[in-house]
Chains A and B, each alone.
Chain A
Amino acid sequence: MNGIKYLFAAYIATWVIHGFYLGALVRRFGRLRQQAKELGKK
């Protein structure tokens, strides 16, 4: 059974999902830090 393309698809999909989530976390951190800075200025 030649399932090598499925194997790589599964591994790539795993890291794409983790990448998306980590990217979302970084964006949320950035937004909150910005808000914290603005609060500090006031």
Chain B
Amino acid sequence: MKRLFPILVVLSAIFLAYALHLSLGKGTPTDAQQGDVYRIIYYHVPSAWTAFLLFFINFIASIQYLVSAKASTKIAAKWVVIGVGVVGGIACFLPQVQHLLPTGMRPSAVATTVLAIPAFYFVIGKFFPGERLDMLAVTSAEVGVVFCTIVLVTGPIWARPVWGIWWAPGDIRLTSTLVLWLIYVSYLVLRRFSSSAQTQMLAAALAVFGALDVPLVYFSIWFFRTQHPQPVIGGGGSMDPRMLHVLLISWMAFLLFAFLVCWSRFRLEGLHREIEQAHAMESLVGAGVAAKASLPLGRSSS
């Protein structure tokens, strides 16, 4: 594992450089309306998708952490998740349900998202048992906030030349993204400054409610009038295949980079907890020695 990390770092650097080359290269067409500024899409959209994925991982890890307190809730949650996957996956292809989907939204895209819930649930549960679930939750939230910050910074930089304004006040897509960022920042603040024994449980509960904002952000462009353009994949919008190709390569590069950052952050969290445990043990031993030392004195004085 120690050897794999530097290899992946080098691969990630090469991949990101290649994605940058494609993003700015002449092989990718220039947008007829926006000119070259549209190329911000190759950083803005992959960052948004990566942030959503990380918040989704945080959501699943938080649920797992909450239900793992009792064996009965753990079993019940397992069957609920299987039910959501099976019923949701089938329902997307029923004509009655398809009728309810907004125009342009592909049922297969919705079904894939629904099926991702049980898939992630069982994979995360298998590879991150016990306390590691909480470590994964804090890792994914923190790295997700970094990517969400990039979305909130690059969005206005793109909006200024295209819309003529930095920010569209009251726009549901923009506002819900800002709210999402604020929820996860408060999650991190709670974890950083609360010393209560219940902090991990409280943070997990906040993360579950916070994650409810992710579908609102994603689906807002279908259900509400917004200045934000339609999505480039999953239905609704249209994009030159060459642009889509570069966009997907850029996302893969950012995913590999995010994976490495999460790996480092996870190790940092592990080291932090080991040191905290060692400090706690040290103070316990110290208290024990002090108690032993004070015992004869206490007896002699009485």
Q: What residues of chain A have their CB less than 8 Å away from a CB belonging to chain B?
A: 1-4, 6-7, 9-11, 13-14, 17-18, 21-22, 25, 28-29, 32-33, 35-36, 39, 42
**11 A-B contacts, Cβ less than 8 Å apart?**
A1-B35, A3-B34, A3-B36, A3-B162, A6-B40, A7-B40, A11-B20, A13-B157, A17-B146, A25-B261, A29-B264
Q: How many A-B residue pairs have CB under 8 A?
A: 79
Closest Cβ neighbor of A32 among chain B residues:
B271
Bound together, the chains give a CA A13 to CA B47 distance in angstroms of 12
Q: What residues of chain B have their CB less than 8 Å away from a CB belonging to chain A?
A: 20, 33-37, 39-40, 43-44, 47, 146, 149-150, 153-154, 157-158, 160-162, 257, 261, 264-265, 268, 271-272, 274-275, 278-279, 282
In the complex, what residues of B have CB within 8 A of residue A29's CB? 264, 268, 271
Bound together, the chains give a CA A17 to CA B261 distance in angstroms of 13
Closest approach, in angstroms, between the C-beta of A35 and any C-beta of chain B? 5
The answer on a CB contact under 8 Å between A6 and B37 is yes
Bound together, the chains give a CA A25 to CA B257 distance in angstroms of 14
Bound together, the chains give a CA A2 to CA B261 distance in angstroms of 34
Known A3-B161, A32-B275: A10·B44 in contact at CB below 8 Å: yes
Closest approach, in angstroms, between the C-beta of A26 and any C-beta of chain B? 9
Main secondary structure, interface of A, reads: helix
The answer on a CB contact under 8 Å between B150 and A13 is yes
In the complex, what residues of B have CB within 8 A of residue A18's CB? 146, 150, 257
Bound together, the chains give a CA A4 to CA B40 distance in angstroms of 10
